[in-house]
């Protein structure tokens, strides 16, 4: 199922089932997405699994990008 998480002034969208997501407006497929909420992007969960070895990296990647945007350091 598609999940969203507010982090600062950005919204992270991802699948809690470990599937890739597709941006409805462009058709581009992502592991997860980080957007400005005012853009109004919507996503659909695909039936394409994220490789197990990439699941933690995907989650950490989004968190690291948001940390950079917010002015923090990457651990």
> Which tens digit of pLDDT belongs to each residue from 12-68?
999 999 999 999 999 999 999 999 999 999 999 999 998 877 655 555 666 666 666
| pLDDT at residue 57 in the model | 58
Quote the pTM value.
Answer: 0.72
DSSP 19-73: EEEEETTT--EESEEEE-GGG---EEEEEEEPPHHHHHHHHHHHHHHHHHHTT--
| pLDDT at residue 15 in the model | 94
Confidence of residue 74 (pLDDT cuts 50, 70, 90): very low
- Residue extents of the structural domains in the chain: 2-69
């Amino acid at each position: 199922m598609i999940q969203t998480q507010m982090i600062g002034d950005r919204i992270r969208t991802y699948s809690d089932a470990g599937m890739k997501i597709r941006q409805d407006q462009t058709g581009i497929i992502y592991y997860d997405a980080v957007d400005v909420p005012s853009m109004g992007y919507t996503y659909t969960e695909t039936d394409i699994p994220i490789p197990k070895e990439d699941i933690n990296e995907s989650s950490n990647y989004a968190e690291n990008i948001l940390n950079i945007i917010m002015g923090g350091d990457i651990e």
